[in-house]
Structure formats: C-alpha cells, structure tokens
Amino acid sequence: MNDFAPQAANTTALGRHAIAEFYDASALEECAPAAAVLRAAAEAANATVLDVKLHDFGERAGFTGVALLAESHISIHTWPEFGYAAIDIFMCGDADLESCLKVLRDYFQPSDESLRVLDRGVGGQPSEMRQARIA
C-alpha cells in the first residue's frame, strides 16, 4: 500500500500529515547536523523554510527540533538510548511528503519504521459534527 497515493477525486485535503517512527536509527545524538538535514528535507519537498530550531539535551541524551515552514512544519524528537526518533511532517500545498521523508530516512538510517499519513482538512469545509461546540 502506498501511503502517499493521491486522494480520491471527490476530496480535497488542506494538508498531508505524516507521523513516522524510526527504529534502530543512527545520528540521534548531535543536533547541529540535524538542522541542516531538516532544511534539506524541506527543500527536497519544495517547501519554504522560515526557521529551524533545535535543542540538545546533552551528551547522549538526544535532541528535539522543528523546521517551521511556510507550508507548516517538520519536527523530530530523538531517544538515542533506544535508537528511536519520532518525526512529524505536516505540509500543505504542493509540498512533497515522500521526498521529505526520503531525506530523513537517508540521514537517520532506520532499520525499521512505522508510518501513518493523514489527510488534514478533508473537503476544506467543517462538517456539522466538527462545528458542534462542547459547552
């Protein structure tokens, strides 16, 4: 199954949201090189980088970071002690999620991964259920 398959013709999504989990990954400790990788991943997707911020949790403790995009964001949080990275990619417009994810895979080299892709804002109009307010 191709998680990046085009949507059905009768639906319109405002954006696509990928939730990726990388297992037995590498390069999970140093955030400085990861900043360049987040930029490269956004550029590969034809997205516009507005800013990149990362925080290093210290020696062998991993990092967290986000690339703020005109088309939304790419975020990552790493646990090097578990070889694990949690990645979130949300893009709208013509940005290419698959190209973004390929750059991240090539850098972090996971031996296994889990991927879920959601269409966000399908139809572009709120339904009655979404319009309901909780009192």
Which residues participate in catalysis according to the annotation? 72, 77, 92
Distance, CA of 124 to CA of 122 (rounded, Å): 5
Contact 94, 72 (CB under 8 A): no
Contact 71, 48 (CB under 8 A): yes
Radius of gyration of the chain (CA): 16
The sheet with strand 112-120 has its strands ordered as 49-56, 63-69, 72-79, 84-92, 15-23, 112-120
